[in-house]
Amino acid sequence: MSIAALAPALAEAARIVSRVAAGRSLAEELDSAARSTPRAALLDLTHGTLRRFGRAPAIVRELSHRGKADELVEPLLWCALYALESGRYASYTVVDQAVRACGLLEKWNAKGYVNAVLRGALREQSSLENRIAADPEARYQHPKWWIDLLQRAYPEGWQDTLAAGNTHPPMCLRVNRRRTSVTAYLARLADAGIAARALGDAGVLLERPVAVAELPGFDAGDASVQDAGAQRAAPCLDLQRGQRVLDACAAPGGKTAHVLEIAEVDVTALDSDGARLLRLAHNLERLSLRAELLKADCTRLAEWWRSEPFDRILADVPCSASGIARRRPDLKWLRRAQDLASFAAQQGAILDALWQALRADGKLLYATCSVFPQENDGVIDAFIARHPAAHRLPLPDGGAAQWLPDAEHDGFFYALIAKTA
């Protein structure tokens, strides 16, 4: 990106971050962003700013002498502060382009103010760190309630979990072992100049993210993008040839496809969102896989279930997505502590409904991309207390139920439940 393009990118990023701060979805705002703005720069500025959102407002508060700036100037400062700290641009370039962005936002009177705040951030960098250190949201770049919950749940590892949530997420691939092997695919990546290493039975962790168009054989279905934590689901279902399998909240289909790649089973995949179900269909088509796809709410059994029980059920339930917040950095600022009770109620209702569709001696795998016990062990313990025939089993891969986000994978939780006759 040329230096001159930074001002438009900062201006558009400020508009988007302003709307996210008011409660809008980052993904939706990016979809409607100005097409003239370089996409890579816009993604970097918005995601980087929101990953570090607790920090930038604290810095502005320390440096500003006019109180809260208006709804566009303050987000512009947040984005410019991220740009300064990212090291992607020279400091004088960021200051100059942020001042220019004021004009693009029609905030001409704010030029001197923006210049002063950014120069102050550069001049007072050392003392600023000490001045904001006492603010937990500025220090850990997460909401206070989120910090408190993690501290109580993981007294030994909460700081590492928060730190991981502020990083760029890893890019992991799932090799389609119906078509190739991990060893062979790693060799193809090396030939393409893409550094990677094996991770798990089918996973390949890239040294740095690349566009899927650069991946050898992607269009042919040789590999898919799927986090290593998500790749635990299919093996943990304990699949056997010929079984009837239900993926109850299936779209966009990564786990559905993985099930079909590793076992000769009949799969029914449900999702209540038609657009997401269409993405699932396209993913299966790329991989040359087949499943029965139904647009349905999994809790309304009468609308889709034909009373023939399933041998295995995957319940990848809606959740806070706290384990993948670095991929969707707006979530940690849009979520509220009270949302967890709502999610837990919905998760319990899904389990109660799906339990009716599970065969005696069948197994149900509960999955979330959450790190909060309220959505994980709390939901499972309550479910087992309600259903005497439910018994929790060790996970077949021998791993812990809760994986916290780190440099290799996102945060996921799994619980395998057997149904006795």
Enzyme catalytic residues: 369
- Measured CA distances, 89 to 79, 92, 168, 361, 390 (Å): 13, 8, 18, 60, 57
Rounded to 10°, the helix 73-86/39-51 angle is 100
- Which residues, including other chains, have CB under 8 Å from residue 183's CB and lie 6 or more apart? 198
Q: How far apart are CA 183 and CA 204, in angstroms?
A: 10
Are the beta carbons of 227 and 410 closer than 8 angstroms? Answer: yes
- Measured CA distances, 255 to 232, 233, 248, 271, 419 (Å): 9, 7, 11, 13, 22
Are the beta carbons of 84 and 94 closer than 8 angstroms? Answer: yes
Q: How far apart are CA 315 and CA 271, in angstroms?
A: 11
Q: What is the residue type of 312? A: R
Are the beta carbons of 363 and 373 closer than 8 angstroms? Answer: no
Q: E strand or H helix at 414, and its extent?
A: strand 412-419
Q: Which of 38, 9, 30 is nearest to 105 (CA)?
A: 9
- Which residues, including other chains, have CB under 8 Å from residue 416's CB and lie 6 or more apart? 236, 237, 238, 363, 364, 365, 366, 392, 393, 394, 395, 396
Q: In 347-409, at which residue ranges do the beta strands (DSSP E only) sit? A: 358-368, 390-393, 402-403
